[in-house]
Chain A
Amino acid sequence: MSSINYAEKIPNNVNLSEDRKLQRALESWQPHYIDWWKEMGPEGTSTSEIYLRTAISAEPDGWAQFGHVKMEDYRWGIFLAPPEKDRKVNFGAHKGEAAWQEVPGEYRSMLRRLITVQGDTEPASVEQQRLLGKCCPSLYDLRNLFQVNVEEGRHLWAMVYLLHAHFGKDGREEAEEMLARRSGDADKPRILGAFNEKTADWLAFFMFTFITDRDGKYQLCALAESGFDPLSRSCRFMLTEEAHHMFVGESGVGRIIERACQVMKENRTDDVRKFGVIDLPTIQRYLNFHYSVTSDLYGAEVSTNAATSYNMGIKGRYEETKIGDDHQLENTTYSVLHPVNGGFQAIEVPALNALNERLRLDWAEDVAKGVERWNKIIAKHGIDFKLTLPHLAFNRAIGHFSDIAVDPSGKVISTEEFARRRDEWLPSESDLAYVLSLMGSAVTKPGQFANWIAPPARGINNQAVDFDYVRFA
C-alpha cells in the first residue's frame, strides 16, 4: 500500500491507524514538532502561501502535487517507498537472509545511533537557514528555500517514525532530543560539526545544498541498502526529495557564476565587486570551505565502526547491489591515501575498514562532475578561469589528515604557512562581509532577481520564471 492517507492527523502510507499505541505516541510528538517549526523554522513566514510540492504517493508515477500552501499547513508525514518483494540482506555476515522488518536485538544501539545522527542533520539545516528568507534574491529562490526546509522537516519525521516504531522508550527520548538540540548552540549543539556552522548568505546556502546535501544523498544511499527494511524504504523515498536540494544548490551557484561572467564580459574586468556581483575567486574560496568541511562528515578514512555496521548488514556501500564482488569484503583490500613523511602514499587497507573513504570518494567524484558543469558556464563566456576542488587533505579536522597542513593543490605545508595564507584559500572575514553586504532586503516582485544572480533557465513545474511562487498575506 503506497497511496498516502491524508485523512489522518499524520499523513502516512504505513497503516499507522492499525497501531494505536504508535499513532498516539507520534501524535503526542507532533505538537512539539510544530512548536519547534514555529520557533526555529523560517522566520516571519507564517502567513505566506508558498508554491510547494507535496507528496501524494510513494509510487514514482505521479507522486507529487504542486499548490500554494502555508508552511505551517504543510502536511508532514510518514512515507516509505513501496516494499521490494522478497528483499534480502545484500551484504555483510547476514548476506542472503531475508531483510529484517524488526530491529535485531544485538544491533539495536548501532542502528539507533545511525538513525539519530541522520535524523539530527535534518532539523539542523532548517535552523541554519532560518534567516535566509529575509534576503532572498527572488520569489523563485524563496520558494526553493522553503521547499528544501519543509522536506528537511519531513525527513526528520521519517527518522522519528523509525525511532518511535522500533526503539521503544529510547527511541521516543531520542525523538524529543532532536527537537531540543539547536544548531550552533553552545550548550546543546547539533551532533555533527558541519551542522553547527552558520548559513548566513545565499552563496553559502547554495554551496551547502550542492555539497553537504550531497553528503546526505550518499549517506542515504548507504542506508537505503540496509538489511533493516523500514530504514531502507524510508531512505529510498527521502532520496527522491533530496535530489531537489542538490538541484537548488547546483543551479543556484551556476546562476551566480553566470551573472559574474556576464558582468566580467560586459565591463571587460575581473573586478566585478564594484558592480555588486560575487567574483569567481570568492566562489572558489566558498567551494574550498564547504568541500573540506563536508569531507569531515564521512568520519575517519580507516574506521572499524564502518566495518562493523557493514558486517552487521546495517549500512552498505553506494549502489551496493550493482557492485560485482562478494559483498562481504573479508579478504579484500582497498587503497587509501595516507599522509607519509611530508607527502602522501596510497596504502592498501582491509576493504571493510575503508568504507567511509570509499563513500567519500564516490561523493567527491559526484561533486567534481557538478563543478565541471559550472566550468562549462565559464567556458561558454570565453573566460579563462576554472573552479577546482581542493585536495582531500586540505583543511581537514577529522581523520588522518587533520594533523597536517595542506594547501588546496595537495602540497604539505607548515601550520604557520597555512595560517598566514588561509585567506587565499578560504573565505576571509572581508569575503564574508562583502557577500553579506549584497544580501539586501528580499526581492519579492515576481520575475525580479537580485543583481548578483541570473534568472533560472526554467520555472518550477513548467510555471513561468515570473510566476508568483510565494504569495504574501
Chain B
Amino acid sequence: MELKRQHLIDPVVCIRCNTCEEACPVDAITHDGTNYVVSFDKCTGCRTCVSPCPTGAIDNWLLVDQPWSIDDQFGWDELPLGQTGPGPAEPAPLPPGEVSDLLAAATSTTGPSVPPPASASKPYFNLYSRDKPVTARVAGNMRITGEGAESDIHHVVLDFSHNAFPFLEGQSIGIVPPGVDAKGRAHNIRLYSIASPREGERSGCNNLALTVKRVAGGVGSNYVCDLKKGDEVSVAGPFGQAFLMPDDPHANIIMICTGTGSAPFRAFTERRRRNAADAPGKLMLFFGARTPEELPYFGPLMKLPKSLIDVNLAFSRVADQPKQYVQDKLRERADDLAALLASPQTHIFICGLKGMEQGSDEAFADICRLHGLDWAGLRPKMREEGRYHVETY
C-alpha cells in the first residue's frame, strides 16, 4: 500500500468565505454552490492557505491510497474520516525480516509479545520498505552537542511534503545508506527513533526529526549526520507497534534514557506539552550523559516548566563531581517513584544503551523493597498490561 497525504477542507466547519481560494498560490482550491475543495494534483502542500483560514476547516490532511477527486469532495456533507480513499483499503504488508530482527534485538528484554499501552493511538506501520521507500527531503541538520563535547549528535529534520508518513511518538524509521559495503552488497537498514510528536516539528507540518550520534567509522550515522539541507533521503517505515506513548492524560510516564535514547522522549514530552500541558498524569525523565555539553537538547530541556515534566539529569564525567548514573537518580527519587509505581496509571519506558537496563532494574527492585512493593511481581504485570517498555541497543 502506498499512502498519500491529501489536503482536504472540512465542509462542516468551513464558512465558504473564499479566503483560502484567494490565498492559494497555485489555484488548487475551487468551489461550487456547496463546498470548497482542493485539487490533489495541483496542491503542493505549501500551507499558504492555512494561516488566513478563520475556521481551521482548511487544516485537514487525510491519508489516502487513492486521492478523492474534486467531484467526490463537492458531494460531501462531512469528511470521510477513517477511509483511505474512494476505493477499498489495501492491507498493510508485513515488516521486512531485517527490520523485525533489529526490533527484536532492541526489545529483547520485554520480548516480542509486549502489548502497547492500552490508551495508545493505533499506529500505522510498515507503509514503506527498502524496496518501496518514500522520499523525504532534509529540511535541517544541526549539531546539538556543545562545541567542546566529544560526542557529535545531530538533530536532523526530514520533510515528506505531500507524501503520507503517519507516525506516532515512539516509532522509528529505517534508512539505508547509499552505496555498497566492502563485499559489494547493499548496506543494512538502520533504524532511528523519531524525536517529534505525531503532528511534526511544528503542528501541521508533514515532517519529523531524528536524533543521531556520529559513530567513528559508522556508515549509517555518518551518512545521516552529513546530510545537507535539501538532500533527498529514502525512508522506510514507520516501524514499531508497542513502544508507543499512552494517550491518556492521566497516564504517569517514567522515562529513562541515555544519549540519543532521548529521541522518543522528546516526542512524548512535546506531545504532552502541546496537547495536555495541564494533564494530571506526571512525566518523570531520568537522563544520563557524560557531561551537560554531551546531553542532546540540554538547553530546551532546561526551559520546560516543572509543572510539565520532572527532569533528573545524571552526569558521569563532570570534573570535581562524583560520577552519577540514571540508577543513582532513580534511587534519589525513591519516594516519588514508589508512589507512581503503586498506580495502575504508571508506565515505564527505557531507551538507550543496553548497559543501563540492569542498573535501572536493580534500582526499581530496591525502591520497591523499601516501600513494601514487589518488583519481581510488578514488572511482569506492567509488561503484560503494556506499561513497561524497553528499547536498547
Q: Which residues of A contact B (CB under 8 A)?
A: 60-64, 217, 239-240, 243-247, 250-251, 366, 369-370, 376, 457-462, 464
Distance (whole angstroms) from the CB of A219 to the closest CB of chain B: 15
Q: Which residues of B contact A (CB under 8 A)?
A: 10, 12-13, 15-19, 22-23, 33, 46-49, 51-52, 54-56, 59, 77, 199, 203-204, 275-276
Q: Can you sample 22 A-B contacts with CB below 8 Å?
A: A60-B23, A60-B48, A61-B46, A61-B48, A64-B52, A240-B19, A243-B18, A243-B19, A244-B54, A245-B54, A246-B15, A246-B17, A250-B15, A251-B15, A369-B16, A376-B77, A457-B10, A461-B56, A462-B56, A462-B59, A462-B203, A462-B204
Give 17 new A-B contacts, CB below 8 A, not counting A217-B17, A462-B203. A60-B23, A60-B51, A61-B47, A61-B51, A63-B51, A63-B52, A64-B52, A239-B19, A240-B19, A243-B15, A243-B18, A245-B54, A250-B15, A251-B15, A370-B16, A457-B12, A462-B204
Contact assessment for B15 and A370 in the assembled complex, using a CB-CB cutoff below 8 Å: yes
Q: Interface of chain A, helix or strand or loop or mixed?
A: helix
- Note all chain B residues with C-beta closer than 8 A to A376: 77
Minimum CB distance partner of A64 in chain B: B51
Contact assessment for B17 and A247 in the assembled complex, using a CB-CB cutoff below 8 Å: yes
- Note all chain B residues with C-beta closer than 8 A to A464: 275-276
A64 to B50, CA, bound (A): 10
- Note all chain B residues with C-beta closer than 8 A to A64: 51-52
- Note all chain A residues with C-beta closer than 8 A to B276: 464
- Note all chain A residues with C-beta closer than 8 A to B17: 217, 243, 246-247
A278 to B28, CA, bound (A): 41
Given the known A-B contacts A457-B13, A464-B275, are A243 and B56 also in contact in the complex, defined by CB atoms under 8 Å? no
Distance (whole angstroms) from the CB of A180 to the closest CB of chain B: 32
Contact assessment for A247 and B51 in the assembled complex, using a CB-CB cutoff below 8 Å: no
Contact assessment for A243 and B54 in the assembled complex, using a CB-CB cutoff below 8 Å: yes
A92 to B209, CA, bound (A): 56
- Note all chain A residues with C-beta closer than 8 A to B33: 369
Contact assessment for B77 and A247 in the assembled complex, using a CB-CB cutoff below 8 Å: no
Minimum CB distance partner of B12 in chain A: A457
- Note all chain A residues with C-beta closer than 8 A to B16: 366, 369-370
Q: Interface of chain B, helix or strand or loop or mixed?
A: loop
A461 to B16, CA, bound (A): 18
Interface core residue of A61, A62, A376, A464 (most chain B CB under 10 Å): A61
A246 to B275, CA, bound (A): 27
- Note all chain B residues with C-beta closer than 8 A to A462: 56, 59, 199, 203-204
- Note all chain B residues with C-beta closer than 8 A to A246: 15, 17, 54
Minimum CB distance partner of B275 in chain A: A464
A60 to B49, CA, bound (A): 7
Distance (whole angstroms) from the CB of A203 to the closest CB of chain B: 18
A246 to B56, CA, bound (A): 13
Distance (whole angstroms) from the CB of B204 to the closest CB of chain A: 7
A247 to B58, CA, bound (A): 13
Interface core residue of A62, A247, A369, A370 (most chain B CB under 10 Å): A247
Name the contact of B54 in the complex, choosing from A61, A63, A247, A370 (C-beta under 8 A): A247
Distance (whole angstroms) from the CB of B10 to the closest CB of chain A: 8
A63 to B199, CA, bound (A): 21
Q: Which 7 A-B pairs have the closest CB atoms?
A: A244-B54, A243-B17, A60-B23, A247-B54, A243-B54, A61-B48, A247-B55
- Note all chain A residues with C-beta closer than 8 A to B59: 462
Distance (whole angstroms) from the CB of A454 to the closest CB of chain B: 13
Minimum CB distance partner of A147 in chain B: B54
- Note all chain B residues with C-beta closer than 8 A to A460: 56
A240 to B33, CA, bound (A): 21
A240 to B49, CA, bound (A): 11
Given the known A-B contacts A243-B15, A246-B17, A251-B13, are A458 and B56 also in contact in the complex, defined by CB atoms under 8 Å? yes
A245 to B54, CA, bound (A): 8
A250 to B12, CA, bound (A): 11
- Note all chain A residues with C-beta closer than 8 A to B46: 61
A362 to B203, CA, bound (A): 37
Minimum CB distance partner of A236 in chain B: B22
Distance (whole angstroms) from the CB of B156 to the closest CB of chain A: 23
- Note all chain B residues with C-beta closer than 8 A to A60: 22-23, 48-49, 51-52
Interface core residue of B17, B199, B204 (most chain A CB under 10 Å): B17
A64 to B23, CA, bound (A): 14
A414 to B47, CA, bound (A): 56
A240 to B48, CA, bound (A): 13
Contact assessment for B15 and A247 in the assembled complex, using a CB-CB cutoff below 8 Å: yes
Interface core residue of B49, B52, B77 (most chain A CB under 10 Å): B52
Interface core residue of B15, B17, B47 (most chain A CB under 10 Å): B15
A458 to B81, CA, bound (A): 15
Minimum CB distance partner of A372 in chain B: B34
A102 to B46, CA, bound (A): 36
A62 to B204, CA, bound (A): 13
Minimum CB distance partner of A248 in chain B: B54
Given the known A-B contacts A461-B56, A462-B59, are A62 and B15 also in contact in the complex, defined by CB atoms under 8 Å? no
Minimum CB distance partner of A446 in chain B: B278
- Note all chain B residues with C-beta closer than 8 A to A459: 56
Interface core residue of B19, B55, B203, B276 (most chain A CB under 10 Å): B55
- Note all chain A residues with C-beta closer than 8 A to B77: 376
Distance (whole angstroms) from the CB of A2 to the closest CB of chain B: 14
Given the known A-B contacts A462-B59, A462-B203, are A62 and B51 also in contact in the complex, defined by CB atoms under 8 Å? yes
A245 to B47, CA, bound (A): 22
A244 to B48, CA, bound (A): 17
Contact assessment for A458 and B52 in the assembled complex, using a CB-CB cutoff below 8 Å: no
Distance (whole angstroms) from the CB of A49 to the closest CB of chain B: 15
Distance (whole angstroms) from the CB of B48 to the closest CB of chain A: 5
A247 to B16, CA, bound (A): 9
Distance (whole angstroms) from the CB of B351 to the closest CB of chain A: 28
- Note all chain A residues with C-beta closer than 8 A to B55: 247, 251
A244 to B49, CA, bound (A): 14
- Note all chain B residues with C-beta closer than 8 A to A240: 19, 52
- Note all chain A residues with C-beta closer than 8 A to B275: 464
- Note all chain B residues with C-beta closer than 8 A to A63: 51-52
A457 to B22, CA, bound (A): 25
A300 to B83, CA, bound (A): 51
